[in-house]
Amino acid sequence: MPYQISLQPGGQTFSADADQTILEAALEAGLLLPYSCRDGACGACKGRVISGEFDVGGYSASALSDAEREAGMTLFCRTRAHSSMVLEARNVSRAGDIPVKKLPCRVQKLTRVADDVIVLELKLPASEPFRFNAGQYVDILLPDGARRSFSIANAPHDNGHIELHVRLIAGGRFTGQVFSTMKERDILRFEGPLGSFWLRDNTRPIVMVAGGTGFAPIKGMIEHAIHAGITRPITLYWGARQPEGLYMDTLARSWSENLPGFSYVPVISDGLPDDGWDGRRGLVHEAVLADFADLSAHEVYACGAPPMIDAARSSFVEARGLAEDAFFADAFTFAMQNA
């Protein structure tokens, strides 16, 4: 029998069957909860159970700690209801009119922009329009049904293709194919757009934080902001281990010419004294903490590895006054995907 699920503080309700996760049931009902990986690895869909019985499937300890479980938190992508439930879930919105599709695509171009990063450009079918919000992602569908998730790095107005930034993962099945055997004109299939990571429509200044190839969806958002004439102040912090990890540094620096109020702060965490880097050093979220004493009037958009996302979220909220519902994130989970 279906159970009624109620969301607070928004008051939305929907039904969930016993074999559905809370996230699946919400999406089926046209409600968009924050989510990213859908396999319990990133923590983007984390929320509090106010009342009700449930069970939680397998998940990564980095996405939901024991202390959070004891405090009533759960991951909606892994939670199945055993009774009617009341949940605390913020940043809930109505799913728009952008359909999720499964489409073929053709490899149009492969460009190696770093030793371990390839920009993969995929040509879309001219007869099948593909719409998305800047910042969303797609799942590449492998022949055996496995999936590999990658953020869309171009803006929606440039919709004849999608651009993906693929980092080589040791032993990675799909990324190994991209770096070794993939060639132009190869055919792939994908599903999308997916995820709830996109720019919200308001007037607050924006801080963006990217780690490594977490730059990809941020790039799409900024190119969308330029195209749409968005004038909200945007400060981008892009962190990498070494200077070569900032594989589109020249592009990021150029955005200040076309986007009023934009500033860019590159940060290196593991550089060497003789690497020629004269910019900021350290962890990228710590650079934000050093520059902003108060984030209470801002929105933050962060994309990167789960530890970076967790550190940014907790420190920005606890130490800089950022509202919990003003932090939007997409966490990359390479290890869980066996990319």
Exposed/middle/buried for residue 149 (C-beta within 10 Å: 0-12, 13-18, 19+): buried
304-to-157, 168, 201, 216, 285 alpha-carbon distances in Å: 24, 15, 23, 10, 11
Residue 222: what residue type? I
pLDDT tens track for 315-328: 999 999 999 889 99
Q: Where in the chain is the domain with CATH 3.40.50.80?
A: 206-337
pTM: 0.85
pLDDT tens track for 32-41: 888 877 888 7
3-state percent breakdown (helix, strand, coil) of the chain, nearest 5: 25, 35, 45
Q: Which residue has the higher pLDDT, 303 or 335?
A: 303
CA 193 to CA 201: how far, in whole Å?
19
Q: Where in the chain is the domain with CATH 3.10.20.30?
A: 3-94
pLDDT tens track for 173-190: 999 999 999 999 999 999
The length of the chain, given as a count of residues: 339
Question: Which is the CATH superfamily of the domain at 3-94?
Answer: Beta-grasp domain (3.10.20.30)
Per-residue pLDDT for 91 more than 80?
no
In 3D space, the residue among 165, 96, 102, 105 whose CA is nearest the CA of residue 133 turns out to be: 96
Record: fold of 206-337? Rossmann fold (3.40.50)
Question: Which is the CATH superfamily of the domain at 101-194?
Answer: Translation factors (2.40.30.10)
The CA angle 69-74-76, to the nearest 5 degrees, is 170
Q: Where in the chain is the domain with CATH 2.40.30.10?
A: 101-194
